[in-house]
């Protein structure tokens, strides 16, 4: 249903990508968009205008030293923003700010009743921490949405669901002790892949113990393995009755991704989004935000994310 879904695609978001043959290239949004248009999906969602986050908005989640650091690196346009995965480029501050501003715009419009669901393909920077960049992630748009839900909108019980092949450590550890942040993360086992975290025994700390469900998958896992894990995920989420759902739908869990070793098909994305949409309608007044996350094979990016959008507009 067209009026219900906001789609954030635009030139400024497309600029979030790293130079010199980096796997997180500037071609990822275009790969999705070409496929979405070929399938006529572009006409079935409401295109929304990306916007930059204000400095004050960035500072609600990130430490000032990190925001300043990114701004300086962006001006210099050289070197790395972390230990060597995330290179600086001229304008990286503005591009990363646009991911966050667009995420906050989607949230505001959903909370105002202007839409029910959103999709932002270039977004979902789940490795960034409050004080640092990591793993291609400069600012954490997901954490900014979660914090804004609590602080600006009084919505505490939020579910974060992550099917990107990498563990969403930047979200997990930020809210590890938060009993109202319900989390499900399906990822390739950290013994085989960056960032090395997300073991099944990590379920949250203190009062939050049991609110997080990490579902590590062995290399080579296929759709059947995902669907078995997903049943547990849905059971966990249903039990926790979230009031709002945020999803990171990385395409790097598909077979053929150059950085990882799972062998899922885009049916995983379709089924996951379909069931989260149904769950949102049961417990969260239909409110669901989806971000594209990772994915480094352009064909996979187009295939996975068009399945995401097709389920959101169905
Ligand atoms: Zn990833």
CA proximity to 306, closest of 45, 46, 50, 39: 39
How many angstroms does the Cα of residue 113 sit away from the middle of ligand 1? 31
Q: How far apart are CA 311 and CA 51, in angstroms?
A: 25
How many angstroms does the Cα of residue 274 sit away from the middle of ligand 1? 21
Q: How far apart are CA 35 and CA 300, in angstroms?
A: 11
How many angstroms does the Cα of residue 3 sit away from the middle of ligand 1? 30
The pLDDT assigned to 1 comes to: 62
**Residue 84 DSSP code:** S
Q: Are the C-beta atoms of residues 142 and 125 closer than 8 Å to each other?
A: yes
DSSP string, 113-168: TS-SEEEESS---TT-BTTB-BTTBSS-HHHHHHHHHHHHH----EEEEE-SSS--
With a CB cutoff of 8 Å and minimum separation 6, the contacts of 128 are 134, 137, 138, 139, 140, 143, 170
How many angstroms does the Cα of residue 138 sit away from the middle of ligand 1? 14
Alpha carbon 270 to its chain centroid, in Å, reads 16
Q: What's the distance, Cα to Cα, between the start and end of the chain in Å?
A: 6
How many angstroms does the Cα of residue 228 sit away from the middle of ligand 1? 21
**Residue 249 DSSP code:** -
Sheet holding 117-120, edge to edge: 46-48, 5-8, 117-120, 288-291, 244-248, 158-162, 181-188, 212-217
Beta bridge partner(s), residue 184: 161, 213
How many angstroms does the Cα of residue 298 sit away from the middle of ligand 1? 14
How many angstroms does the Cα of residue 295 sit away from the middle of ligand 1? 6
How many angstroms does the Cα of residue 215 sit away from the middle of ligand 1? 15
With a CB cutoff of 8 Å and minimum separation 6, the contacts of 120 are 7, 8, 13, 99, 102, 103, 106, 141, 289, 290, 291, 292
Inter-CA distances, 168 with 162, 186, 187, 198, Å: 7, 9, 8, 8
How many angstroms does the Cα of residue 309 sit away from the middle of ligand 1? 19
How many angstroms does the Cα of residue 115 sit away from the middle of ligand 1? 28
Q: How far apart are CA 200 and CA 209, in angstroms?
A: 12
How many angstroms does the Cα of residue 164 sit away from the middle of ligand 1? 5
Q: How far apart are CA 254 and CA 266, in angstroms?
A: 7
How many angstroms does the Cα of residue 293 sit away from the middle of ligand 1? 6
How many angstroms does the Cα of residue 294 sit away from the middle of ligand 1? 4
The pLDDT assigned to 82 comes to: 87
With a CB cutoff of 8 Å and minimum separation 6, the contacts of 28 are 17, 121, 122, 292, 295, 298, 301
The pLDDT assigned to 20 comes to: 83
Most distant CA pair in the chain, distance: 49
Q: Are the C-beta atoms of residues 265 and 224 closer than 8 Å to each other?
A: no
Say if residue 164 is preceded by a cis peptide, omega within 30 of 0: no
The pLDDT assigned to 254 comes to: 98
pLDDT, tens digit only, all 314 positions of the chain: 678 999 999 999 999 999 888 999 899 999 999 999 999 999 999 999 999 999 999 999 999 999 999 999 999 998 998 888 899 999 999 999 999 999 999 999 999 999 999 999 999 999 999 999 999 999 999 999 999 999 999 999 999 999 999 999 999 999 999 999 999 999 999 999 999 999 999 999 999 999 999 999 999 999 999 999 999 999 999 999 999 999 999 999 999 999 999 999 999 999 999 999 999 999 999 999 999 999 999 999 999 999 999 999 99
């Amino acid at each position: 249903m067209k009026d219900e879904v906001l789609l954030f695609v635009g030139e400024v978001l497309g600029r979030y990508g790293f130079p010199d043959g980096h796997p997180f290239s500037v071609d990822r949004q275009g790969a999705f968009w070409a496929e979405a248009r070929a399938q006529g999906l572009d006409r079935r969602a409401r295109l929304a205008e990306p916007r930059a986050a204000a400095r004050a908005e960035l500072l609600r989640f990130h430490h000032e030293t990190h925001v300043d650091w990114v701004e300086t690196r962006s001006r210099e346009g050289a070197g790395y923003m972390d230990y060597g995965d995330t290179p600086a480029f001229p304008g990286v501050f503005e591009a990363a700010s646009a991911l966050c501003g667009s995420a906050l715009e989607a949230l505001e419009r959903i909370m105002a009743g202007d839409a029910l669901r959103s999709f932002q393909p270039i977004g979902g920077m789940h490795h960034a921490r409050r004080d640092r960049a990591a793993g291609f992630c400069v600012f954490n748009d997901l954490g900014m949405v979660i914090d804004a839900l609590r602080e600006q909108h009084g919505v505490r019980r939020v579910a974060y669901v992550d099917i990107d092949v990498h563990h969403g450590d930047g979200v997990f550890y930020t809210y590890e002790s938060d009993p109202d942040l319900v989390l499900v993360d399906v990822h390739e086992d950290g013994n085989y892949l960056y960032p090395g975290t997300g073991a099944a025994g990590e379920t949250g700390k203190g009062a939050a113990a049991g609110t997080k469900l990490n579902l590590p998958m062995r290399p080579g896992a296929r759709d059947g393995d995902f669907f078995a894990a997903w049943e547990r995920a849905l059971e966990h989420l249903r039990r926790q009755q979230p009031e709002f759902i945020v999803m990171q739908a990385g395409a790097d869990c598909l077979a053929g991704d150059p950085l990882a070793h799972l062998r899922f098909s885009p049916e995983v994305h379709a089924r996951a989004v379909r069931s989260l949409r149904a769950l949102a309608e049961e417990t969260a007044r239909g409110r669901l935000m989806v971000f594209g996350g990772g994915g480094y094979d352009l064909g996979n990016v187009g295939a996975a994310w068009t399945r995401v959008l097709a389920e959101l507009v169905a």
